[in-house]
Structure 1
Amino acid sequence: MSSKTSSVALTEFRSNPLSIIGLVLVALCVGLAVFADLVAPYPAHVGPIGDFMAINQAPSAAHWFGTDTIGRDVLTRILYGFRLSLVMAAMVLAISMPIGVALGLMAGYLGGWVEFAIMRLTDVFLAIPPLVLAMAIMGFLPATLTNAMLAVTAMWWPWYTRLVYNVVRSEAREGYVLAAEVIGASPLHVMTREILPNCAPAILTKLTLDVGFVVLMVSSLSFLGLGVQPPTPDLGSMVADGAKYMPDAWWLSIFPALAIMVLVLGFNLLGDGLREAFDAEV
């Protein structure tokens, strides 16, 4: 783990232009998602209600990103798509991260049969490509928002298990851990109060990077028709629906795809900046 103090890490983060760009992009996307009700030009176009007098209009002053096949404003649906993507990413990581961290702590510190059982199970999940595993799970479940989140969550915890396991194995023989054991601290205390804080930089960095990856994964499921279903505004399904009308109505796919790119790029740049600042091994 890195021996850098928080102030040194913050200084290095600030000195990295790409990190600042990532932070700005993330702040912009999150702000638009949170305040979509206020900034969206046509909030009524979130659902199935459209404007049949404005079907398939190209980008204009009235509709900056054009309109879709039933006259709904594409910009409005992208803003609400930001909200849905970020909420799904937050919920997936809020479930998978604690599970993976807990298992990684136990495997790395307790060792023995606990380590063997947890890490072999982790290896099984990591051996399967994430998108393939998610598609296989969704093949047995109805295509709903909840099931899409469960499918992604089921394949995401092993990455945190592997990360924390590696960090714990390198920290377990450090002096502060041995001192805690000598004074009679319980394994739970050592894992949660001594070792876990030293895993925080790596976990935080991975969390930031994973938001972009989860958004991309959820969008991929929706693009394949296995995720969020219409009329809910989802960036992946918007790209898929618009692809049928390329190249004439190019804006139906291009702008949602660019929105996904900006969202993923922002979190990737931010995560890379944190990784370099903390020297975290992710």
Structure 2
Amino acid sequence: MKRTLVILLRNPLSALGVALVAIVVLSALLADFIVPFPEHKGAVVDFVNFNKPPDSTYLMGTDLVGRDLFSRIVYAYRISLLLGVVVLAIAVPIGVTVGLFAGYLGGWTEAILMRVTDVFLSIPPLVLAVSIMGLLEPTLTNGMLAVTAMWWPWYARLVYNIARSEREEGYVLAAEVIGASSLHVAFREILPNCIPAIVTKMTLDLGFVIIIASSLSFLGLGVQPPTPDLGSMVAEGARYLPDSWWLTVFPGLAILIAVFGFNLLGDALREILGVEE
């Protein structure tokens, strides 16, 4: 771990990725202590200070009902990261299990599991998420379910390709010769060789999940007001461009920082762990 961190910090772009991710994560974790107006994360109205441009009191200005934009963006990071972590915590085990069994067992198991996976992969991710959210009430929980439904197939395909190439390797054949069960071979022999690729993809996907979640909120299908969300803030502010530019620019920059940071970190991990594109 220490060696990996040293290597990351030696490369300027990798170090930038680490710094941006650290800013996003620490902001989300310490939101209650660093924001000047913690009460503004909810249904607070302050018409005296509504729609104010950035100044010394409100670093990023205020929204249309007088809430501090900086405070709401920091709390929105917490929502975005929570969604990303929960989605991956559900999608990764499902996708990895499907990919392992399909890649190792082959035959009818491979045909059925991978055809189901291909069906999900054939639908554009945002279209699938919008379709699911169109049938459900637009809540944070349903948003997580919608994004999860579109994310597990990518892990299934990734692990399937690795497992399929590894199932004829000597260590797998040796485990089979001594009587190891299929579960043992899949999860104890093949899975460890998939970990570097899985970890790299998870790091990259945190940024992509934030984009998808923000897109759903932008369309009014994600997190609902008064809960702060980056996508809904961009959508609300877009109606008042260019006069009230801060309403859109700062939430948009917040999305950019998070996605850019996770992408830089993911690219660095791919190089360090030797994961092929």
Q: Which range, TM-score by smaller chain? A: over 0.9
Aligned with residue 116 of structure 2, among 100, 121, 127: 121
**Whose relative contact order is higher, 1 or 2, with alpha carbons under 8 Å and at least 6 apart?**
1
Aligned with residue 240 of structure 1, among 231, 235, 242: 235
SS of aligned partner of 1:94: helix
Residue by residue over 1:132-187, the C-alpha shift from the partner in whole angstroms, topping out at 9 and shown as x without a partner, is 01111111111111111111000100000000001111111122111111111111
- 1:161 equivalent to 2:156? Answer yes
- 1:87 equivalent to 2:74? Answer no
SS of aligned partner of 1:203: helix
Measure the CA separation in 2 of the matches of 1:7 and 1:227: 38
Query: Which residue number corresponds to residue 52 of structure 1?
Result: 47
Query: Which residue number corresponds to residue 276 of structure 1?
Result: 271
Query: Which residue number corresponds to residue 213 of structure 1?
Result: 208
Query: Which residue number corresponds to residue 3 of structure 1?
Result: none
Measure the CA separation in 1 of the matches of 2:172 and 2:3: 25
Contact 1:9/1:278, CA 8 A, preserved across alignment: no
Amino acid of the structure 2 residue aligned with 1:131: L
Question: Unmatched 5+ residue regions in structure 1?
Answer: 1-5
- 1:230 equivalent to 2:222? Answer no
Query: Which residue number corresponds to residue 174 of structure 2?
Result: 179
Measure the CA separation in 2 of the matches of 1:227 and 1:103: 28
Measure the CA separation in 2 of the matches of 1:247 and 1:143: 29
SS of aligned partner of 1:70: coil
- 1:31 equivalent to 2:26? Answer yes
Measure the CA separation in 2 of the matches of 1:164 and 1:224: 33
Contact 1:81/1:234, CA 8 A, preserved across alignment: yes
Measure the CA separation in 1 of the matches of 2:2 and 2:257: 29
Question: Unmatched 5+ residue regions in structure 2?
Answer: none
TM-score when normalising by structure 1: 0.95
Amino acid of the structure 1 residue aligned with 2:115: R
TM-aligned CA distance change 1:194 to 1:81, over 3 Å: same
- Give the total of aligned pairs: 277
Contact 1:138/1:226, CA 8 A, preserved across alignment: yes
Query: Which residue number corresponds to residue 142 of structure 1?
Result: 137
SS of aligned partner of 2:135: coil
Identity %: 63
- 1:202 to partner: Cα distance: 0.3
> What is the Cα-based RMSD across aligned positions, in Å?
1.3
Measure the CA separation in 2 of the matches of 1:8 and 1:145: 38
TM-score when normalising by structure 2: 0.97
Aligned with residue 108 of structure 1, among 88, 103, 106: 103
